[in-house]
Structure formats: structure tokens, C-alpha cells
Amino acid sequence: MLSSSFRGRILLLAVFVAFSVLPRARAQTPPEVKTLLAKLVENESAAYMRKPPYAYISIERSDRTGGHLWKERVAETSFGKVKFLVEEDGQPLSPERAAAERARVAEIAAHPDAFKKREQAMRNDESHARDMLVLLPKAFLFDPPKPEGEYVRIAFRPNPDYVAQSMEERVLHGMSGSVLIEPKEVRLRAIEGRMPADVSIGYGLIATIKAGSNFSTTREHIEAAEWKTQRIDTAIVGRAIFFKTIAKKEESIHSDFHRVPTDITVAQAVEMLEK
């Protein structure tokens, strides 16, 4: 049985090989787009450094949920996001399941350092969106902006002259997609990327990544300068060595955001979520 980390490395390798052989367009990015994107990255980086914590409701169907639809209360802390499951597939938890969930978060509250270590080891799809955003100005070429309601959409594609600095960067660099920008404050509304074609390694015996594998993140303006992730959609599909499936799928919607104290502890977050 392949470990998840090994399957992940195979997936990254397959995506890299896929995009290393694709033809690249060489049209240059308009100067005004470069200026806009530089300002976008500057604003988003500053906002990330000072971001306050929030609590919210998450509705998610993913590998983590076993394909079920989970409704969770979530609280952000300096140690990570504390999640408390309240419904599965639209139904309240059974008494036994609810008791097990309370025991799980009690363990988190009792051992916050272990919780922090686990959280740091599990990079989520929001972090990939941030990585893509920082990579944009230097690793991609852009089309002229197009108005889309109150926003501006800019399509991007890989810059063939850019040399990726890591395997993950190579994967992100291989995607084509677009960014949706709120132009008044120059903030990110949405970002999406997509793999354009099937790719096979070793005639498909080592790995195949399917065309259409993609990710997208949409954000909502909450208050003042605060924007929060509203929706995440990720679908990576492929096949690894000896026909083992490699896949990542997540669909989640976040709502009902409200501020929590900046210095909230993990134990306080658990207590709040259980109420």
C-alpha cells in the first residue's frame, strides 16, 4: 500500500512532467497589469501579516470527511483552526458520535502544542492560493484585464522563461487560470488554476494525471480591510504506480464570520465552539 506522502510526490512529479512539455505562448504582460499585480501582492501580503482571527461555519465535502457533507463550527487561533463537527449529511450527530467529538476537542484543548504541530504539518488549499498569488508576478504572463461586474479579471499562463525554485513551485507554475481583483482597494476576490491535458509517466504505469485537475478559491469582503475565504474547490485526479489512485477533492463553503479575541487560546476556542 502506497503511503499518502509517496502518492503526493508521484502526483507532483507527474504534474511537473506534464507542464514541462507543453508549448508556451510568449506574449508579454502589459506594463499596467504588472503594476496592478505588484500592488495586489503587496496588499494581500500586508493583510495576511495582520489578519485577525475569526469564527465561522464551514460546510465541507472532501477526502477528510470521507465524502460526507460535514457542517463544522470553526475558530481560528494562533495555533491553528479548531473545528467542531455538528452535522453530517444534513443530520445532527448521534449521541455517541457527539460524545466522541467532544472527547476529540477536549484532547485538543488539553494538548495545544501537539495540535499546533499537526496543523503546521497540514498545509491546506488556502495556503496554495497564497503561494500562487505570490508566484504570479514573476512566474506567469498575463492578458489585458477584462471588466467583470464590479471586479476585473486577468487571465494568466506560465512564463516559459521562469525557472521554478521548488517542486511545489513547478506544479503551481504549470497551471493556467485567472485572478479576479477588486480594483478600488486592489484586493483578491478569486483565483483559479487548471491543468490543461492528461499526462502519463512511464506509459501510464508510474503515474497519470487527468486533464481538468484544478483548484479555485473565492473570497468575501467581511469588514473594513478584511477578506475571508468563502469557497474552496479542489479536484486533482490521477493514477500512481501499479494503478493506485491518487486524488484530492474538496468542496467547502464558509459563512457567518464573526471576530474572536486576537489572543484566543485553543481551550477557549473549544469552549466557544461547544456552546
pLDDT tens string 196-252 = 766 554 544 455 667 788 889 999 999 989 999 999 998 877 665 555 555 678 999
Chain segment 13-69, per-residue pLDDT in tens: 443 433 344 444 456 788 899 999 999 999 999 998 899 999 999 999 999 999 999
What is the model's pLDDT at position 8? 44
Task: Specify the pLDDT at position 132.
Answer: 75
Q: What is the pLDDT of residue 199?
A: 53
pLDDT of residue 19: 39
Q: How many domains does the chain have?
A: 1
Q: What is the pLDDT of residue 247?
A: 66
CB atoms inside a 10 Å sphere around CB 89: 11
The answer to whether the predicted template modeling score (pTM) of the entire model surpasses 0.85 is: no
Mean per-residue pLDDT for 178-184?
Answer: 96
Q: Which domain holds residue 252?
A: 4-274
β pairing state of 69-77 and 214-223: unpaired
